[in-house]
Structure formats: structure tokens, C-alpha cells
Amino acid sequence: MAKAREIGGIECDGAATEAVPLVLDPRLEEMCLLRKAALDFSDPEGVHDMRVASRRVRSALRDFAPHLRKTKIASSTKRLKEIADKLGVVRDYDVAIIALEKLQKKASPEISSGLQRIIDDRKARLDPARKELVQALNYKELSQLKRNFRQAIEDAIVPQDATKPTESGATVKSGPTYKAFAGSTLIKRLKELEALSSSLYEPQEVKPLHEMRIAAKRLRYAMELFAACWGEQLGVFSRQVAQMQSSLGELHDCDLWIEHFGKRLSRLKKKASSERATSEDERDAMIWLLSDFSRLRTKHFRAALALWHEWEQKDFCNRLTATLRT
């Protein structure tokens, strides 16, 4: 994953609202600059990097929501989601093909032939998804999005009321400083993650674990966004959150695979008319994959559970909260 560019000009002791455009404009620009790489389909990492950049923009918008009028940015937010969705479809196919080709190398010849059919099916679906992405990343439309976004943010910012002038003649803003707002936002994201941690004690419940993954992702992006106000103090915690997100992400990927192949095999057994013709070797490959992803799921679940247990033992959440209040 491409590292986010450092955003300059932020005053941690300045007004939170003054920092909003200073953060959001560069985040969108960073995403748009990845257009060329995303459309170079010879390297799938280009799509991945632009997808991550789109997530950073949307995550920042979510974090700054208390300072933005939602209706003013609705159009830009919708357009960003459309782009993120198109990037996501292509990325999911890329990841699936790469993963299946990697598994194919360790499979027996009998299983390998069935895997090839599954891989070919994914590749056939990838081509139209790429064409839709090319349309979504039209240069003129992307340039228009940048202009609209900049104006929308300017119009959407909820102004902070000013107090009376001080003795020195300076005007003091009554709202929170950027650092105070960042701290309260990060604590909120941390509490969201904590509230979902009990899902780790119900390993077969897929949805709560998926929600915990999303909470970990949002906390990680928020920590990345506000890192400048704490520096390496926050970096130590951020790396741990990234590790948790990674384990839960791998777990979620396994859940998606298990659900997909489980449903297909069930339809085959029932001889559902909606299921396309499937060869015996492809069916064998799906059973093999179902077994393999079930094994991997256990591995990633245990990693997430062990990390959370370590956090509890080392009082991770309270230590992070204390750091954010400094």
C-alpha cells in the first residue's frame, strides 16, 4: 500500500475548521494523481494505490463531518463513492486471480486444471470491469470533480464563532483546536473498535468480525490523518492497529471465499438452473479451496485474537487514550 503523503501547513494549535481544506484538498489531489498508474493494467498495484487513496479521502470526510454541512458535499461524496466502487471491483478481481494462481502452484495436477477454469472465469469478468473503470476515471470528469470538490468544501465548512478581541487585539476562535478535535475523533474511533471487540469471542459470526475490521480500518486512517500532532508517539500505536486491520482483513477475505464457493457447491448439489455448467475437476477444485480457506481463516482469526489479548494485557487502549489527551 502506498504511503500517504505528508500534509504541510497544519497548525495543531490552530482552529480545526481552518485545517479542513488544507487536509482534504491534498488528499483528493493525491488520489487523482494516481489515475495514470491505476489505468496501467500491466501492474495491478496502481489500482490498489488509487483505491487506498480514495479510501483516505472518504475517511477524512467522515472524520471532519462535524465541521461540514453534509448537503453541500453530497454530490462530490457520491462521485467519490462511484470511483471507489469501480476501483474496488477491479482490485477484487486482481487479488482473486493473484491468490488463485499462487494456490495453483502448490495444487496437484488434477486440482490445478479445475483451478485454471476458475481463474479463466475471473479473468473474463475482469475485462469489462476494467472498461468501466476507464470510463469512471475520465480525465475531464476527474478534473471537474477536483474543481467541484474544492468549492463544495469551501461552502460546506461550518464556521467557528469568534469571541471578542483580546487585549492584544487578536481574535480568538471559540471552537476546538485542530489537535483537540483530532484527539476527540481518534478516541471516538478507538471506542468504536473496542465496542466491537467482543466479536472475537464468537469466531463463527462473520458480520460482527467484518464490522470490527471496518472499525480498525477507520481508526488506522484517522491515526494516519492526524499523526502530525503526536509524531512517533502515535506511530507506535498506529503500527499495532495496522496489524489488527491486516489480520481482520485477511480473515474477511477468507469469509468471502468460503461463502462464494460454499454457495456454488450447494447450488451444484441441488442442480440449480441458475448455476452454469461445471466440470468435475472444477468442482473438486472448489472443494479443495473451501478446505484451504477454512484453514487460513483459523490462522488469521487466531492472529487477531492473540493481538487483542496482548492489547488487553498491556492496557493498549488506555495508553493510547492517555497519549491522545497529552
Task: Express each pLDDT in 272-312 by its tens digit.
Answer: 555 555 688 899 999 999 999 999 999 999 999 999 999 99
Q: Are the C-beta atoms of residues 286 and 264 closer than 8 Å to each other?
A: yes
Q: Is the pLDDT of residue 180 over 50?
A: yes
Q: Average pLDDT, stretch 113-128?
A: 96
Confidence band of 166 (pLDDT split at 50, 70, 90): very low
Please tell me the predicted confidence (pLDDT) of residue 272. Answer: 55
Task: Express each pLDDT in 30-50 by its tens digit.
Answer: 999 999 999 999 999 999 999
Global pTM? 0.89
Q: Is the pLDDT of residue 170 over 90?
A: no
CA distances from 253 to 28, 46, 146, 247 (A): 27, 20, 33, 10
Percent of the chain beyond pLDDT 70?
A: 93
Please tell me the predicted confidence (pLDDT) of residue 172. Answer: 46
* Class of residue 279 by CB neighbours under 10 A (exposed 0-12, middle 13-18, buried 19+): exposed
**Cell numbers 491486516: residue:** 246
Confidence band of 171 (pLDDT split at 50, 70, 90): low
Please tell me the predicted confidence (pLDDT) of residue 274. Answer: 53
If you write DSSP's letter for every residue of 134-194 in order, what string do you get?
HHHT-HHHHHHHHHHHHHHHHHHB-PPPB----TTSPPPB-S-BHHHHHHHHHHHHHHHHH
Q: Is the pLDDT of residue 159 over 90?
A: no
Q: What share of the chain is helix, strand, coil (3-state, %, to 5)?
A: 75, 0, 20
Closest C-alpha to 60, from 87, 23, 8, 6: 23
Give the H/E segment covering residue 249. Answer: helix 232-270
